């Protein structure tokens, strides 16, 4: 018959148990690190979204201001280009002579 060396079997099992425990601890460490990474990544993404939202609001305000100024420029350009605006400016120029063109008042005796 074959004799089983019980001391060898116990050491072999102990080695397997220690190795299994070590691998299980390493796997728990990996799980914990993954959970921490997901949490940190989620909070960072939330902060990035908040910053993007703030810049979107700022950009919308800037676009509204640009649109308002563009409309004002268009109105002013139409006033300058209209024939009525030119005629009224010419008439205003003839009716109100400048200081150098004004004739001295006539004195009456």
* pLDDT tens digit sequence for 7-16: 666 677 888 8
Domain that holds residue 53: 10-79
Q: Is residue 88 one of the residues assigned to a domain? A: no
Q: Is residue 90 one of the residues assigned to a domain? A: no
Query: Which pLDDT value is given to residue 66?
Result: 96
Q: Is residue 89 one of the residues assigned to a domain? A: no
Tokens of 107: 């004195």
How many independent structural domains does the chain possess? 1
Rounded Cα distance between 95 and 91, Å, is 6
* pLDDT category of residue 99 using cuts at 50, 70 and 90: low
Q: Is residue 85 one of the residues assigned to a domain? A: no
Which pTM was predicted?
0.44
Q: Is residue 92 one of the residues assigned to a domain? A: no
Spatial contact of 79 and 85, defined as CB atoms under 8 Å apart: yes
Rounded average pLDDT over 88-109: 56
Q: Is residue 102 one of the residues assigned to a domain? A: no
* pLDDT category of residue 58 using cuts at 50, 70 and 90: very high
Rounded Cα distance between 109 and 63, Å, is 68
């Amino acid at each position: 018959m074959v004799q089983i060396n019980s001391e060898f079997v116990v050491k072999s099992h102990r080695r397997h148990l220690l190795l299994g425990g070590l691998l299980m601890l390493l796997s728990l460490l990996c799980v914990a690190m993954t959970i921490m990474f997901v949490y940190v990544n989620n909070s960072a993404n939330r902060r990035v979204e908040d910053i993007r939202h703030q810049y979107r609001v700022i950009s919308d305000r800037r676009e509204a201001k640009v649109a308002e100024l563009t409309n004002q420029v268009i109105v002013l350009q139409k006033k300058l280009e209209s024939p009525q605006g030119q005629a009224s400016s010419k008439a205003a120029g003839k009716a109100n002579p400048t200081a150098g063109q004004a004739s001295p008042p006539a004195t009456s005796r």
